[in-house]
Amino acid sequence: MKVTLAQLNPIVGDIAGNARRVADLLPRAAAASDLLVLPELFLVGYPPRDLLERPAFIARVQEALADLARLTRSYPDLGVLVGAPRPTGREQGKGLANAACLLYRGELAAWRDKSLLPTYDVFDETRYFDPGAHVDVIPFQGEVLGVSICEDAWCQEEWWCRRLYDLDPLAMMARKGATVLLNLSASPFQVGKESVRHRLMSSHARKHGLPFVYVNQVGGNDELIFDGRSLAFDERGEALALLPAFREAVLEVDLTRPGTPGLFVPQEPIAGVHDALVLGIRDYLGKCGFTQAVVGLSGGVDSAVVCTLAARALGQENVLGVAMPSLYSSPGSLSDARDLARNLGVDFRVIPITPIYQAYLNSLATLFPTDTLDATLENIQARIRGNILMALSNRFGHLVLSTGNKSEMAVGYCTLYGDMSGGLAVLSDVPKTMVYELAEQVNREREIIPRSTIAKAPSAELRPDQTDQDTLPPYDVLDRIIQHYLVEARSYDDIVGLGFEPATVRWVMRAIDNNEYKRRQAAPGLRVTSKAFGMGRRIPVAARFEV
């Protein structure tokens, strides 16, 4: 059997546009293969979220499926397996299934509903879908297709520290006589996941002695980034095909041929994060109708990394860097920002904020003393900068990219309506220690981010001789505590037992909990780790709890 793997980048909600992408592939797929396979929920893009609750939206999906089915009459030897929401017609439950639909010879010939509906982290599928009532196979052109959807193939304990499901859909389909296993997926990127995914999908083929095809969505949709990396294996679990990461690809695969040992080579983790963020920026802006971005350049490593990623995502001509020095800014910060902009070839402007800051002080002096620098006055400086960037955004149509990293966001070392202002928080899931790794990745071939930017002590420069470590623990310590508490959900006693200083652990944990209200008001951020702030983290703000 020959299969065309179509690793494409859908736009959420663009049913007509996504359907056109399928239609455009039919001639090529028909000339080279028996079956065209596309990702999970491809016709609506993943995740469609509450669009699924609109009856008119679901009706348009069914019309698009019917139109695509009619097109297959012209390609009688080709089947098309595409993901779409399917009304079940049942009165109980949600009345909707996450389905893989087989279009063949002018009809919706068969379908397979997703059995395992993830409801954790960023996934909320039981909000919209009913699980498949049956696990059936699909006879097709002398083969028997065992079709699964994303989570259906993630039920092994290799991925989970505890088993989430009693059901193993792939094993059931193998017992029912499947001759090939296929998985339509929308599996988001996270650092380190691609190796686990490869091992898991290879083990399915090896365990059941069947060829296995895995087609994953690629692209950025809001906070989620999908890396593609679609796969095909022979019955021994050896790779037949490996599609690239972070870009669209279409490939025909002959499932009767033997695989190639050693074909899979994982990407370096920090290179994967870099490429994910570039794709996330490009798609977030592009799918929201923006073509240009503006970044506040402080001379620090965070803004330097964001500006570099933006230039790579959008093109240097579409990025504006703005330095906004104050009386507390060092000369080196301005020169570092200027050197970065020159190295990248982006437009660069300087807007001093000291006169604006002084006007604030004069206005506020009638209400409280302004001759002593405190957090209030520090935050005013950050908010002036945020207002300037938003003014440029309003006037010129650039999207503001905020530059705060995960370490700062975690403990609230950021200013509401100041450095948190923006349309996309590029580094909000990137710890500070990883930001430095990204800077080195950027400079791998030549120096783009000035070495002085990377080497100097990080500082907000909101008061004389300020450094981040005046307020925060060292970043290597802070990031490890954040990992243990935020990601691994360890208790205070557990973390202290790992050798951390008790007062530091208590401060970090309280800072994380007390600053949830800030994160609720932050711009959407791009997810690259297993636990990001945003849609996958649901912590109450008005709460009192011990951990």
**Which helix (H) or strand (E) is 197 found in, with range?**
helix 193-208
Token pair listed for 57: 């939206």
pLDDT surpassing 90 at residue 103: yes
Q: At residue 20, what is the residue type?
A: R
* Pair 294, 251 in one domain: no
* Higher local confidence (pLDDT), 458 or 532: 532
Tens digit of each residue's pLDDT (9 = 90 or more) over 8-29: 999 999 999 999 999 999 999 9
Tens digit of each residue's pLDDT (9 = 90 or more) over 361-396: 999 999 999 988 899 999 999 999 999 999 999 999
Cβ atoms of 150 and 185 within 8 Å: the answer is yes
Tens digit of each residue's pLDDT (9 = 90 or more) over 39-82: 999 999 999 999 999 999 999 999 999 999 999 999 999 999 99
Confidence of residue 543 (pLDDT cuts 50, 70, 90): confident
Catalytic choice (94, 101, 114, 235): 114
- Domain count for the chain, please give it: 3
Q: Kindly report the average pLDDT of the chain as a whole number.
A: 94
Residue 440 annotated in active site: no
* Pair 377, 420 in one domain: yes
* Pair 161, 283 in one domain: no
* Pair 318, 343 in one domain: yes
- Residue 502 included in any domain: yes
pLDDT at residue 158, rounded to an integer: 55
pLDDT at residue 362, rounded to an integer: 95
Cβ atoms of 403 and 430 within 8 Å: the answer is no
Tens digit of each residue's pLDDT (9 = 90 or more) over 328-337: 889 899 999 9
* Pair 99, 187 in one domain: yes
Averaged pLDDT for residues 409-433: 95
Residue 235 annotated in active site: no
Distance CA 265, CA 535 (A): 31
- CATH number of the domain residue 62 falls in: 3.60.110.10
Catalytic choice (94, 125, 150, 461): 150
Token pair listed for 93: 């439950």
Tens digit of each residue's pLDDT (9 = 90 or more) over 196-242: 999 999 999 999 999 999 999 999 999 999 999 999 999 999 999 99
**Pairing mode, if any, of strands 293-296 and 399-402?**
parallel
Tens digit of each residue's pLDDT (9 = 90 or more) over 143-163: 999 999 999 998 765 554 456
Mark which of 207, 227, 256 sits at the end of a domain.
256
pLDDT surpassing 60 at residue 186: yes
* Pair 330, 222 in one domain: no
Confidence of residue 444 (pLDDT cuts 50, 70, 90): very high
Confidence of residue 537 (pLDDT cuts 50, 70, 90): confident
pLDDT surpassing 90 at residue 305: yes
- Residue 528 included in any domain: no
* Pair 18, 84 in one domain: yes
In 331-458, which residue ranges form alpha helices assigned H by DSSP? 331-344, 354-364, 375-396, 406-411, 432-442, 451-455
pLDDT at residue 161, rounded to an integer: 46
pTM above 0.85, yes or no: yes
Residue 91: domain span: 2-256
- CATH number of the domain residue 399 falls in: 3.40.50.620
Residue 114 annotated in active site: yes
The end-to-end CA distance of the chain, in Å, is 55
